[in-house]
Structure 1
Amino acid sequence: MQQIPTPPVKAPAPAAVPAPLAWWRTWWRSQPPTHQDRLAMLAPLLAVLLFLAAIAAALWYLRAEEAERAQEAVRRDAEYAQQRLRLRLLERQEQLMRLARDVSGGDMEPPEFVARAESLISQYPEWQAITWIDQRRQVRASHAAPTLANSQLRMAGELLKDGETDGSFSLARDLQQPVYSQPMRIGDAAPLLQLHVPLMNEQGRFAGVVMGEYSLDGLLRYGTPTEVLARYAVTLVDGSNHLLAGTPLPPRDGATRLLPWTTRASGHEVPVSLVGNGLQLRAQAYRTSPGVIGSGMFWLVGTLSAMTVWMLLATWRHTRRRMQAQEALVAEMNFRRAMENSIVTGMRVLDMHGCITYVNAAFCQMTGWSNAELVGQRAPFSFWPESDYEALHARLRDELAGKTVQGGFQVRMKRKNGTLFDARMYLSPLIDPHGQQTGWMTSMTDITEPNRIRAQLAASHERFTVVLEALDASVSVAPLGSHELLFANKLYRQWFGSLATGHLQLVAQAGVPAATPGGESGDEVDGLMGLPTDPLTSAQSENAEIFVPELGKWLEVRSRYLNWVDGRLAQLVIATDITPRRQAEEQAASQAERAQSVSRLITMGEMASSVAHELNQPLSAISNYCSGMIARIRNRQIEEDALVAALEKTAHQAQRAGQIIQRIRAFVKKSEPNRTLSNVDEIVGESVELAGIELRRRSVRLSHYVAARLPHLLVDPILIEQVLVNLLKNAAESIDNARRPLQQRNVELRVVPRQVDEQPGVEFTVLDTGAGLAPEVLDRLYEAFFSTKSEGMGIGLNLCRSIIESHQGRMQAENLYNGTEIAGCRFSFWIPLAKPADGTINSIANTRNRG
């Protein structure tokens, strides 16, 4: 019988996991254990916080519901009181209107009106006064309650005076219907509410009003239902929220109002409809319930929740501390392992029998053997050189015996490839947690490269010493505040010996700040005063030129501060013999002085014909005067007065000729440069007199302008006059060579104050109308022995610029243009003002000129 195979039974498929739950499981398993612990601790805390929030929300909701019900009750009762108040006002208005109709009919006289008013006021206590006013605003009759203030009483025959009553009177007259005025207060009296009912005569014309005045206090007391007054604080306020009647509730405490679960006091405002928005009825509910804060359930739930949160936070903090301690331990182990693997110092541990138990990665890298090959070895070790076995065995025995060397020791080691290297080893005992020594820790550093660098430094130091010894300058270094000499080269020792006296002498003569050795002066002055405050690397060196009589030499002294190798602040002084250079400079200065004198002689030589012509006039006049006087004396035709007048004229011409000769002599006289505080007007006057001779010969007009109150200049006046005369003469020659017509032959000299680079000074400018300067001439204008004149020597302008620059001034030249045509040339030079100082200015200037 054939058996029919049964189909295999499929295993039931696992229940499908919802997608959000599967995502949550995957995310949770992907988090590290520390994050899982933190999240597990946050879940109970979050649950407690949510529970507390739910309780607070429920309490707040119940409180809000209660407040809403109370507000609805206040609104309802306030509207009910407003209706009652409105009905009472309508009743009083109707009574006043009946009284007005009786008055309008003409059947009522003032006494009867007063009686009716008295009856109404005594019957209805809210009435305060009822007044009859005619169309002329005159009070006909009035009756007031005894409680009305005197300032509010109205007497028969008086006119209306207050503006509010007058306005309501006019409005009632215009509308011809009852009009309520806004509540008004007169002085300190209680505010009143007025009702104006118009009076109409038989012809239908306005005959006045009957004015009734209400007491707002009485209206509130008798018009508001007693049950409303019992439950609420009812008040009447005006449109500006000013209290008119009633007693409001005091404001709640500020701290209570700031609590988030408190609600505002229930209240409602409605306008009194007959009066309008000017009178508002306000009702405020009295507080009867203790509120949320007074609820014991609230405090119980809050206390339990706070305790739960505190315990959860304490548990979470304790767990967090344990996790932090665990993480710190793991981090410390990783840090020590990483530090051990990253340092270049080799570490080796020997047990008490000399067997290697541990080596770090740096030791393996340094020797070339692996950790497995080194751990377990005994002496002789594979990294020992064969030639040093005996010395290293002895060193190992000393190590195991505890004979350590302070500061380590140097040995030679062998790499796996057979190369040797120098190493320094330090030994220290290895102590276990129980205080027992278990071995020796040895640290090894490769010092092959430091040894090589040390040898190179020694060679470099030797070369440096050789170079300093061979210098042709004296080099010395001395610490501040001491007579010790730290370094001196060969030339210094030849000049000053091996003591610091020469160093201090150079510093003192050069005027370089230096500290005085301590203990040599009783003054309480800081010995380091005057040293540079900047870092020594950025301090500028100081130069000075001094003369040393003991050596008979001029020395250029350069000094600067530096930190010596031992950390002390020291001063380096380099002295160079500059005696040949100073002699050359003195010779050059002497040559410059002679060149200046030669230039003045050349200038006067070029002006010789002009000077002769200038002298010819006074000499001819003297000759004529003398010849005339002789002839007249011989003929006995002259009187004493005429003779005296002729002699005076002769003397004047002789003085004129003498002044010309004296001025020329002073100009060409060779003299030592002498810088003094000179008057600019006198310099310009002397220059114009000298140059005027040449300008008049060439028919050139000279005009000059000197600014008023110019300060004095620290200059040599003869040299400045030489520059001005040279520039004026060149200007006249340029005009003459350009063959300008007579009306264009002008030279102008201007002297004005001017600032250059924020430094005050005086500028001298010479402007001419000549042919100007060509571009190639401008480039070589101040070049020595370059001249545009066929007979010129080419030292005039070069010497002028040298004179101006020796006075710390500047000189420049430029062409003047009229469109594209050259209309002349302008030469100008600027000299700075003399700085106020003592009499050492002249001596310094003279020293510079001589040097």
Structure 2
Amino acid sequence: MELNKAASVVKKVGPWAWWRSWWVRQSPVRQDRFANLAPVAAVLLFLAAIASAFWYLRIEEVEREQEAIKRDVEYAQQRLRLRLLERQEQVMRLARDVSNREIKAEQFMVRAEALVQQYPEYQSLTWIDDRRRIIANQSVSSLLPSQHLRAGTVLKIGETESHYSLARDLMQPIYGRVDADDDKTNNNSVLQLHSPLSNDLGRFSGVILAEYSMEGLLRYGIPTEVLAKYAVALRDGDGQLLAGQTIPKRIHLWNLMPGNPRLDNDYEIPVSPVGNDLILRAQAWRTSQGLVGSGLFWLVSVLSVMTAWMLIGNWRHTRRRLQAQKALVAETNFRRAMENSMVTGMRALDLHGRISYVNPAFCQMTGWSEAELVGATAPFPYWPEQDREQLTKRLEEEISGQHSAGGFQVRVKRQNGSLFDARMYVSPLIDASGKHTGWMTSMTDITEPNRIREQLANAHERFTIVLEALDASVSVAPLGSQELLFANKLYRLWFGQDTQGHLRLVAQAGAYEGPNDAEDVDDLAGLPTESLTVASSENAEIFVPELGKWLEVRSRYINWADGRLAQMVIATDITPRRQAEELAAQQAERAQNASRLITMGEMASSVAHELNQPLTAISNYCSGMISRIKSQQVEEKDLLWALDKTAHQAQRAGQIILRIRSFVKRSEPNRALSDVSAMVNESLELAEIELRRRNVRLSHYVAARLPLLMVDPILIEQVLINLMKNAAESIDNAKRPSHQRHVELRVGLQEVDGKSVVEFAVTDSGQGLPPEAIDRVYEAFFSTKAEGMGIGLNLCRSIIESHQGRISAQNLYNAHEVTGCRFSFWIPVEDASTTLQATGVNE
């Protein structure tokens, strides 16, 4: 309405007349304030425009310089990358010829000398065999004698040897940086390329080592126009200078301002294919004077300082004029602000019970205005009609001075007729001269606290109903006392009304329930060091013979309503779950035993063939002895020799049968400290029968001084036999030639997620796994073999995971061709003290 009215006035009298009338209506103080705002605003806008212009121009300049150096550095990096790739292709071509035995040491020297002379970044080319022996070496003539790798010597242990080992393990070209001498401060670093060699069987047979000079790479790999425009350098990942030059970073006040781009004008990028260990960095030479060196900057600064000085002088003069006026209204405004900011309603009565003052909070609570309340007498407008008699007696008590210090609760009626609960406190009203002039009453709305108190009571009732209906026993008892603070219905049904059941659950679960009655025992002994009310709960599963149930007991320390430290125990019946777990364990044991029987059934023909040899030998020895005894042409020593051979063959057949019986017989899981080598040897005895039948060679490696494992050896042997048998079948199905029919078993100590484990790996040269089946080979009843049942690998995973281990599979590739598969699993090495406690062995 006011805006519409002002707009209509402007239309009638014109904008200038309206502005003048508005200015006249303002007070002198406001006129002075508005008059001072105009020049200040103008100067501020001027300074803001100048600063924005400088900022914009500087940002544009910085972005252009940074974009130019980024573009030039990326171009230089591409040129250097292409040069490294060309040299890498040359080295790999030379390595390929050496692997194919197309060149010998003399021809290698000729080709290496041609490469070193043609491409100046080469520092040396070296042929190293698989025993780290240097076959041939061609280096530039500028190298020191100590830096030459002489033919016939063995590669020294150091950074070069580590890169050599990495190339041998990965069978792919490896880049690495080493220091040319022991003094690393001279920046005599070289870049090495290890290109692996392989023999006819695809095995590692050495490397071709190419060494590049960092200075040569920088000089011949970076375009000359980039070297002329920037300070170019090669650095490693730690920031150490390898080649080139660097200049100090620019120190500029612009860099200290938040939000501004930095003026370092440098850019760095990793050099591929080397990676983050070789970084190309370029820094632009400084060509401009900067912002401070500009004459326009100083002119604008002087004018701005002069304008600010004049404004400050004008402001000080105006400030002295306003100080006197502000002092007059300061105290009044302060008291009024205090009065209006109070949230407690204040009411003053004179000695006759008439209202003499109410604050805005009181008016806001009741809905009546100050004019309607001041001067009113009882009954007051905010009194409910049904409470007037009671409130009149209360008012008489107030006027007579009979009031309580704790106040009293009343109901108050708002102007709209609604009621709310309030608490009033009455105190005498004393004026400045110490005379009693009336009574001061403060009123607080307590409707919300009363509602919350009622809700808490209802919530407590609902909470109690829920606890009584729980299917778990809940009890609370203070520490060190026989008092039972709380027990729900199920607890009372199981253990009665006393605290004996609570203490028995705590004792069986191994949780702390408080000290004994001995006076010399600390009440807090054995408790957690952190705050008990935030300590994590303790869980335990116990069997209660009186109830015939398995209970899961959870305990936690809490602060009771009276401040005492108490312990809450929750016991849940888990008898059905324990019975289901026992049934599942029995079924898993039957499945494992069935798997061993299936494995031996599949190997039956191989075992029969293995037993046929000692049985045939026994028959031959016996027939020979019978014929020689009948012809009376036998001597005692010949007879003893024949009997010894017969006994040896019978013992061999018995060992084969005993080993098969111990593998397939049904037995309870028996975890014990087991030797890894013994388990591997036992599994090899049975697996070699199947592998020999399929004409597959088996090699194994077991690391020395492996720790003992807490496992069931029969189950681990079952996993190893299954994996080796599957490997032989994969090779047989792939129809590999005789020199490629090979299975390798390796056992060693590894570290996974910060803990020590023993890893078992079975590698074959078969046809591998289909890519879509790698994630499903461990599923039950899924098999990649036409006649497979799909339970072998599923049981293997169950066995390994029951020992807290993991099993995995991956295909082996040569380029895009699958050359085999690798199954591996690991079992964690338990702590010695934990292992001894688990097995009941005393140190």
TM-score bucket (shorter structure): 0.5 to 0.7
Q: What is the aligned partner in structure 1 of residue 708 from structure 2?
A: 712
Q: What is the rounded CA distance, in whole Å, between the counterparts of 2:501 and 2:713 in structure 1?
A: 43
* Paired letter, 2:831: K
Match of residue 356 from structure 1: 355
CA shift, 1:675, in A, is: 1.3
Give deviations 1:656-708, integer Å, cap 9, x for gaps: 00000111111112111111111111110000001111111111111111111
- Relative distance call for 1:568 and 1:522 in structure 2 (3 A) is closer
Q: Does 1:809 align with 2:799?
A: no
Contact 2:672 2:839 in 1 (8 A): no
After TM superposition, the structure 1 = structure 2 runs for residues 511-522 of structure 1, keeping only pairs within 5 Å, are 511-516=510-515, 520-522=517-519
- How do residues 746-761 of structure 1 correspond to structure 2 at under 5 angstroms? 746-761=742-757
1:648 is aligned to: 644
Alpha-carbon deviations, 1:266-323, whole Å to 9, x = none? xxxxxxxxxxxxxxxxxxxxxxxxxxxxxxxxxxxxxxxxxxxxxxxxxxxxxxxxxx
How far residue 433 of structure 1 moved from its aligned partner, in angstroms, is 4.9
* 8 A Cα contact 2:476 2:487, kept in partner: yes
Say if 1:459 and 1:525 are closer, same or farther in 2 by CA, change over 3 A.
closer
Question: 1:345 and 1:692 mapped to 2: Cα distance?
Answer: 94
Is the partner of 1:379 in helix, strand or coil? coil
For residue 334 of structure 1, report the CA deviation from its aligned partner. 5.9
Cα deviations by residue, 1:21-51 (Å, 9 ceiling, x for unpaired): xxxxx99x989xxxxxxxxxxxxxxxxxxxx
Larger Rg: 1
Matches within 5 A, 1:407-418: 407-418=406-417
Residue 528 of structure 2 is aligned with which of 521, 527, 531?
A: 531
Amino acid at match of 1:531: P
Amino acid at match of 1:357: S
Give the counterpart letter for 2:701 in structure 1.
Y
Structure 2 counterpart of 1:503: 502
**Aligned partners of 1:769 and 1:824 also within 8 Å:** yes
* Deviation readout 1:434-476 (Å, 9 max, x if unpaired): 5553322211112223323333333222222222211111222
SS at match of 1:426: strand
User: What are the within-5 Å matches in structure 2 for residues 127-276 of structure 1?
Assistant: none
Q: How does 1:546-557 map to 2 (within 5 A)?
A: 546-557=542-553
Partner Cα distance (1:833, 1:439) in 2: 87
Corresponding position of 1:793: 789
How far the C-alpha of 1:527 sits from its partner, in A, is 1.8
Amino acid at match of 1:575: A
1:579 aligned partner: 575
Trace 1:657-736 onto structure 2 (pairs within 5 A).
657-736=653-732
* Bigger shift: residues 457-466 or 520-529: 520-529
Contact 1:514/1:528, CA 8 A, preserved across alignment: no
| Paired residue type of 2:771 | P
Q: Residue 200 of structure 1 aligns with which residue?
A: none
1:477 partner letter: V
Determine if contact 2:478/2:565 at 8 Å carries over to the other structure. Answer: yes
Which residue is 1:607 aligned to?
Answer: 603
Instruction: Give the superposition deviation at 1:820.
Output: 0.7
Query: Counterpart of 2:829?
Result: 833
CA distance in structure 2 between the partners assigned to 1:796 and 1:802 by the alignment: 10
Alpha-carbon displacement from aligned partner over 1:198-227 (angstroms, at most 9, x marks no partner): xxxxxxxxxxxxxxxxxxxxxxxxxxxxxx
User: In structure 2, do the counterparts of structure 1 residues 333 and 806 end up closer, same or farther at CA, with 3 Å as the change threshold?
Assistant: farther
Deviates more, 1:558-567 or 1:404-413: 558-567
Name the SS for the 1:779 alignment partner. Answer: coil
Match of 2:455 in 1: 456
* Residues 718, 424 of structure 1: alpha-carbon distance in 2 compared, 3 angstrom cutoff: same
Quote how far apart the aligned CAs of 1:726 are.
0.7
Query: For 2:833, what is the secondary structure of its paired residue?
Result: coil
Structure 1 residues 260-659: aligned runs within 5 Å: 337-433=336-432, 436-516=435-515, 520-527=517-524, 529-531=526-528, 533=530, 536=533, 539-659=535-655
User: Which of 723, 732, 737 is equivalent to 2:733?
Assistant: 737
Q: CA deviation at 1:432?
A: 4.0
Q: Which TM-score applies when normalising by structure 2? A: 0.59
Q: Could you tell me how far 1:494 is from its partner in structure 2?
A: 1.5
The one-letter code sitting in structure 2 at the alignment partner of 1:370 is S
> How far did 1:331 drift?
7.8
The structure-2 alpha-carbon separation of the partners of 1:839 and 1:756, relative to structure 1 and needing over 3 Å to count, comes to closer
Q: Distance in 2 between matches of 1:771 and 1:370?
A: 95
Contact 1:761 / 1:831 at 8 angstroms: preserved in 2?
Answer: yes
- Is 2:555–2:570's contact at 8 Å kept on the other side of the alignment? yes
Q: Structure 2 matches for 1:763-802, cutoff 5 A?
A: 763-802=759-798
**Amino acid across the alignment from 1:721:** E
> Is the partner of 1:674 in helix, strand or coil?
coil
Q: Paired residues, what number?
A: 523
Residue of structure 1 aligned with 2:816, choices 814, 820, 827: 820
- Between the aligned residues of both structures, percent identity stands at 72
Q: Once the 2 structures are TM-superposed, how far is the Cα of residue 815 of structure 1 from its aligned partner?
A: 0.5
The runs of 5 or more residues in structure 2 that have no matched partner are 1-27, 34-322
Q: 3-state DSSP class of the match of 1:837?
A: helix
TM-score by length of 1: 0.58
Residue 398 of structure 1: CA displacement?
Answer: 1.9
Q: Which runs of 5+ in 1 are unaligned?
A: 1-25, 32-323, 846-851
Contact 1:514–1:531 (Cα < 8 Å) also in 2? no
**Matching of residues 70-89 of structure 1 within 5 Å:** none
The Cα shift of 1:812 comes to 0.5
When residues 488 and 526 of structure 1 are mapped into structure 2, their CA distance, relative to the original with a 3 A threshold, is closer
For 1:481 and 1:334, how far apart are their aligned partners in 2?
A: 62
**Residues in 1 aligned to 2:413 and 2:783: alpha-carbon distance in whole angstroms:** 84
Residue 257 of structure 1 is matched in structure 2 by: none
Contact 1:561 1:569 in 2 (8 A): yes
Contact 1:423–1:448 (Cα < 8 Å) also in 2? yes
